[in-house]
Amino acid sequence: MKAVFTDEEFSDVRGVISSLIGLEFPVNRRNTLIRNLGLAAKEFGFYEVGEFITWLLTAELKKVETQILASYLTISETYFWREPHVFEAFTEHILPELIVSKKEDKTIRIWCAGCSTGEEPYSLAIALHRVLPDIKDWEIKILGTDINPSSLDKAITGVYTKWSFRNCPSWLQTGYFHNLGNERFEILPRIRKMVTFTNLNLTHEIYPSFMNDTHSMDIILCRNVLMYFSEAWVDKITERLYKALNNNGWFAVASCELSSHTFSQFESVNFQNAILYRKSQKSLLMNEDHIGNDFSLEADKEQVELRLRSANIPLPSIIGVGGNPFINHDFKDAGYSDDSGTNKEQAIQKVVETDTVSATITINDPIVNIRILANGGKLQEALTLCIEVIESDKLSIGLYSLRASIYQELEMFSDAIASLKQALYLNPDFIMGHFALGNLFFKQEKQKHAKMHFNNVLALIKSMKNEDIIPESDGLSVKYLSDIIMNNLLKLK
């Protein structure tokens, strides 16, 4: 095995890893990078790490290959109730306050970004179970995401060894786990079913997004994650997570990651031996001032890209709100059309360069506007527009699915089911229709119906590759859907 990088190789490999995964390997982690790449080389079929590096510098990695590489470069080190003072802040202050504020709609949404093997989201599920006596009457969403598929596989099983319980309260292990013997412990089904796990790359995926359920969060934890990213990526990821939070939502990072500069858009709140961040009215105003005065061209471009990618449909034009009157840009003028072969990236760049596009972007297409409204939490407006568009296009399967998603967020479950059945009437092989129905029946604990639709999805995607994108899914992969379905089927057993 090649034991030493040349300085040039080290620099080049660091650049590739940063662009693929966003991870930063400084000079003092040189040996760690060499060791981990040596282990990854075997997974990719290389006997020599040098050969693997040569290939890595020129290859265009597929999504599944990026995930494999990430599994060797990221650290899956966590345990239950990590940093107890943070969980004390949650159980004694944050969650009780949130429960009071949500007593009308009875919904709580939490996202653990970079959840590793699942101890953190399960800890939050346990915390909620302890402070919410009528939890069965509530709609609880706890999402755990990670780039490492191996870690997620372990999280989904919910089985842990004694090492995962170090430094946690004794009541947590004895009260919320079955002892399987051989120092293995399985989390109770009522806790496991509160958490959904899925793969997500914080540097590549779209968020906040209505379609992958990374929007309108009350709490986001991203602990012991950001310290591995470059400063540029930390800024981008933090901004996206900020937008994924509801007003007055809470954001938590590890104590070693606390920074008044990095998280300046939030208001910091001091608890006993713990500091958390809040998207308060004060921080909202400060962030608006920042965007208005210092919104960079790169950030503008990213906003355009996110809107285009989240739409996942041909976009004839874009309106930029940077001055008055509004200025329309036709992408054909920028050299882009569906069949032209011109890179959409180049077209976006030309649009951005020809005008100052501000933080507020409106896509001149009704379907895209429905999604923008939904992603922004304006569900009733999105529903009204969606119903109007369906009246003029009653054969659009995607519109019925989109309407069902909005109904579901509004907790109009019967209407959501009816809308999805209309879509499946038009196309019985509509994968996302079966997937959405499976999720709806799963939440209603109608196991027979949920299993039927989940199995329909598995049958329809059986011949597809993991990295293939599901039609009408806004860029979701076969692997993404498979992970969620297998997780849910496991809970239905």
Q: Each residue of 122-159: pLDDT tens digit?
A: 999 999 999 998 999 999 999 999 988 888 989 999 99
**Predicted confidence band at 480 (pLDDT cuts at 50, 70, 90)?**
confident
Q: How much is the average pLDDT of 218-232?
A: 91
Q: What pLDDT, on the 0 to 100 scale, is given for residue 5? A: 67
**Predicted confidence band at 197 (pLDDT cuts at 50, 70, 90)?**
very high
Determine the Cα–Cα distance for residues 461 and 455; give it in Å rounded to an integer.
10
The phi and psi torsions of 319 (rounded to 5 degrees) equal -110, 125
Q: Which of these ranges, 60-64, 228-232, 317-321, 393-397, has the smallest mean pLDDT?
A: 317-321
**Predicted confidence band at 26 (pLDDT cuts at 50, 70, 90)?**
confident
Determine the Cα–Cα distance for residues 469 and 479; give it in Å rounded to an integer.
9
Reduced to 3 states (helix: H, G, I; strand: E, B; else coil), residue 185 is strand
Closest CA to 124 of 346, 355, 234, 115: 115
Matching CATH number, 84-279, of 3.40.30.10, 3.40.50.150, 3.40.50.720, 1.10.287.3510: 3.40.50.150
Q: What are the structural domain ranges in the chain?
A: 7-73, 84-279, 288-311+314-363
> Average pLDDT, whole number, for the chain?
80
How far from the centroid of its chain's Cα atoms is residue 387's Cα? Answer: 28
Which pTM value belongs to this model?
Answer: 0.67
pLDDT tens digits, 391-448? 888 888 888 888 988 888 887 888 899 999 988 988 999 998 899 898 888 878 888 8
Gyration radius of the chain over CA positions? 23
The phi and psi torsions of 89 (rounded to 5 degrees) equal -65, -40
Reduced to 3 states (helix: H, G, I; strand: E, B; else coil), residue 154 is helix
The phi and psi torsions of 160 (rounded to 5 degrees) equal -135, 160
User: Is the pLDDT confidence value at 335 over 80?
Assistant: no
Where is pLDDT greater, at 28 or 310? Answer: 28
Determine the Cα–Cα distance for residues 88 and 94; give it in Å rounded to an integer.
9
Q: Is the peptide bond between 208 and the residue preceding it cis, with omega within 30 degrees of 0?
A: yes
Q: How much is the average pLDDT of 324-329?
A: 27
Q: What pLDDT, on the 0 to 100 scale, is given for residue 174? A: 95
- Dihedral sign from CA coordinates of 466, 469, 472, 475: positive
